[in-house]
Amino acid sequence: MEWTPLFLSLKLACFTAGLLLLVGIPLAYALVFGQWRGKVLVRTFITLPIVLPSTVLGFYFLTLASPTHVWGDFFANGLKLDLIFSFEGLVLGSVIYALPFMVQPIEQAFEQIPAERIQFITLLGKNRRTILQKVILPASWTGIISGIILSFAHTLGEFGLVLMVGGNIPGETKVASIALYEAVELGQQELANKYALILLGTSFLVLVLVQSLRKGHQNIRLW
């Protein structure tokens, strides 16, 4: 069995989860504690990948990333970054598609913090940055870890978006899910079964970790 697709999948999942963590925390904070118009619309767009077929997102990603489009031209000529059939394109597409799996657990954790606690700390003269670092984030660690795990696992097993955006380039975009599909197409059932078992075992382990975190969090009091 070729191990490169598995390592490439892990690399993609790590990059995606890391970038989503940087984006997910401030976005969840804005959705929970911010007072601004359009929150419902933004939350809808964030949640959309859960119900939207990944091939639809992949199609629009390819359209926008095309050099003939203004955004594709900006990335290709302005940033010297080719997003079509490249690892960088897979990362960006995966970040968009896995966004709700990071934002929603963090958002739910933020919502569980009693409003009275935030108000009390605010009355003490603490600024928002201090409140986020010293109060909100420590009290929301289970939601943050759940978001990291879920977004990592979702990226690890993604197929439709990866196939459309990255294709099947060995060593570059041929991740484990694509290798599994290729093995089935070639009638290599034993090889396909190995890839499938690894992905199945990883997904099962992820769900066990998330459920354990949520069960343990029930015994934690935030106030």
Per-residue DSSP letter, 113: S
Joined together, the tokens standing for residue 30 give: 């804005």
Q: Are 154 and 202 in contact (CB under 8 A)?
A: no
Q: Is the pLDDT of residue 223 over 50?
A: no
Q: Is the pLDDT of residue 140 over 50?
A: yes
pLDDT (tens digit, 9 = 90+) per residue, 142-159?
A: 899 989 989 998 998 888
Distance between CA atoms of 31 and 27, rounded to whole angstroms?
Answer: 6
pLDDT (tens digit, 9 = 90+) per residue, 156-206?
A: 888 889 999 988 899 899 999 999 999 999 999 999 999 999 999 988 888
In which band, very low, low, confident or very high, does the pLDDT at 219 lie, cut at 50, 70 and 90? very low
130 vs 15, more confident: 15
Distance between CA atoms of 193 and 189, rounded to whole angstroms?
Answer: 6
DSSP per-residue letters across 114-131:
-HHHHHHHHHTT--HHHH
Minimum mean pLDDT range among 81-85, 110-114, 139-143, 211-215 = 211-215
Domains for the chain: give ranges and CATH numbers.
4-217 (1.10.3720.10)
pLDDT (tens digit, 9 = 90+) per residue, 43-77?
A: 999 999 998 888 899 999 988 888 888 888 888 88
Q: Are 12 and 88 in contact (CB under 8 A)?
A: no
In which band, very low, low, confident or very high, does the pLDDT at 113 lie, cut at 50, 70 and 90? confident
- Contacts of residue 67, defined as CB under 8 A and 6 or more positions apart, other chains included, come to 73, 76, 77
Q: Is the pLDDT of residue 31 over 50?
A: yes
Distance between CA atoms of 200 and 186, rounded to whole angstroms?
Answer: 21
Residue 78 to residues 101, 105, 166, Cα–Cα distance (Å): 31, 35, 21
Q: Are 58 and 163 in contact (CB under 8 A)?
A: yes
Distance between CA atoms of 140 and 145, rounded to whole angstroms?
Answer: 9
DSSP per-residue letters across 18-52:
HHHHHHHHHHHHHHHH---TTHHHHHHHHHHHHHS
Q: Is the dihedral of CA 194, 195, 198, 203 positive or negative?
A: negative
